[in-house]
Amino acid sequence: MKIFIFEEVEELTDRYHPGGALVVIAENETEARELIKTDQNIKLSKEEWEEVIIYNLKDETVLSRMFIFPDAGCC
């Protein structure tokens, strides 16, 4: 399993401040991309994919999932 960390995503939510961070746990990039497609608000650019931080996870029993950390904005 791998963890994909997107520190700054421009189009992440439908909120007034749409940016934020995204963390995806998946077997590989293909599975990560499929998980991301399940949320129609997330649109990752080529540059965001090029800047993703990827770590291998030691625990192979972890389930694939996605965590969205929306930009709280100024208010």
* Range scoring the smallest mean pLDDT among 16-20, 40-44, 61-65: 16-20
Q: Is the pTM of this model over 0.75?
A: yes
Mean residue pLDDT of the chain comes to: 92
**Confidence grade of residue 75 (pLDDT, cut at 50, 70, 90):** low
Share of the chain above pLDDT 90, in %: 76
pLDDT by residue (tens digit) across 18-34? Answer: 789 999 999 999 999 99
DSSP one-letter string for 11-56: B--SSSS--EEEEEEESSHHHHHHHHHTSTT-B--HHHHHT-EEEE
